[in-house]
Structure 1
Amino acid sequence: MKKYWEASYRFGLIGGIFSVLAFLVFHWMGLDPTNLSMLFGYVMIPVFVFLGIRFFKKYVNQDWLSFAEGMTIGFLIYTLFAFITAMGIWIILSFNSTLFAELKDKKLGILESNKDMIVSQLGQESFGTTLAKVQEMVPWDIALNDFIWKMIPGLFFTIIISIILRRTNN
């Protein structure tokens, strides 16, 4: 397991740091950093997973890669990427209550502007429950949401990249 960790941690670490910096840059640009951070993750996770798996295959494993090894390396990369991003977002929002209040207000505004559609599709009770949950939201909720939405595409991209890069003794 040590060789997998040593070959992958730097890709997850660098990707996570880039993602936290992107969150800050999006905020400074006056954009919604939560949505753009997720979009940034959809673009950057496959890049870092590909680079990490390719690095492992070429420089650690003598140009050989099984599907399981690719999945292991990819899992370590996208999990570390997602964890660092979530921790960074949580820290930023915990110390910057103004930013958190802005994000919460935006989410409440979006919910209110879509009230009719939500009520017609899901009912008044569902809208009320969602509204209450958003009003009770804390910084950790935003960070956890970002973590989850980096893990899901990370798994998807890792499967595809592992299949593409695998090389067996056939």
Structure 2
Amino acid sequence: MYRFFSSAYKFGGIAGALSIIAFLTLSFFYPDPTNLNLVFGYVITPVAIFLAIKFFKEYSNTGYLSFAEGMSVGFVAYMLEAIISLVGIWLILLIHPDLFDQVKLSKLSVLANSKESIVAQVGENSFDMTLESIKNMIPWDIALNDALWKIIPGLFFTIIISIILRKNPN
């Protein structure tokens, strides 16, 4: 089993650690590091998945890769990245409640500045529900959102990369 997933563990773990480091680094420069950390996730996730599948194919599977193997390795890589990122960001926000308050205030400010256009597009009820959900937000919500936005694109990238790298024995 380790042979099958060793590259997924390595690259998923590295990507998760880099996501935490990116969140910490961005928090020094921006009051709300969550949006830029999502962009970073869109870059690092496909790279980690590609490397995990490529290394599995070349070094553990003698140059062959079925679609199912690629999907399995990619799944482990992006899920591990998401879980590590989730736990890391959640712990950072618990340890530094002032950072969490900063993020929350930034999101409330963006919502208030965009009220007219949001109400015009989705209505007053949706705006009020969004405002209420941001007011009731806890650190877990931010960490979970980050993890979900690694899982959803991760699945998409895994499908594409598995198809591209697929090579079955003749």
Once the two structures are superposed, residues 109-145 of structure 1 have per-residue CA deviations (whole angstroms, 9 ceiling, x without a partner) of 0111111111112111111111111000000000010
Counterparts of residues 75-90 of structure 1 (less than 5 Å): 75-90=75-90
Size of the aligned set, in residue pairs, is 170
**Shift of residue 156, structure 1, vs aligned partner:** 0.9
Counterparts of residues 23-62 of structure 1 (less than 5 Å): 23-30=23-30, 32-62=32-62
Distance 2:55 2:5 in 1: 12
Match of 1:168 in 2: 168
Distance 2:76 2:68 in 1: 12
Counterparts of residues 1-170 of structure 1 (less than 5 Å): 1-30=1-30, 32-170=32-170
Indicate conservation of the 8 Å contact 2:5/2:56, yes or no.
Answer: no
Distance 1:164 1:5 in 2: 19
Once the two structures are superposed, residues 60-90 of structure 1 have per-residue CA deviations (whole angstroms, 9 ceiling, x without a partner) of 0000000110000000000100110111100
Indicate conservation of the 8 Å contact 1:4/1:72, yes or no.
Answer: no
Amino acid at match of 2:168: T
Distance 1:12 1:159 in 2: 16
Structure 2: where are the runs of 5+ without partners?
A: none
* TM, length-normalised to structure 2: 0.96
Distance 1:4 1:87 in 2: 25
**Shift of residue 29, structure 1, vs aligned partner:** 2.2
SS of residue matched to 1:32:
coil
**Shift of residue 5, structure 1, vs aligned partner:** 2.6
**Shift of residue 35, structure 1, vs aligned partner:** 0.7
Indicate conservation of the 8 Å contact 2:65/2:167, yes or no.
Answer: yes
Distance 2:23 2:56 in 1: 29
* TM, length-normalised to structure 1: 0.96
Quote the RMSD (CA, aligned, Å). Answer: 1.1
SS of residue matched to 1:167:
coil
Amino acid at match of 2:89: I
Structure 1: where are the runs of 5+ without partners?
A: none
Large movers: runs of 4+ above 4 Å: none
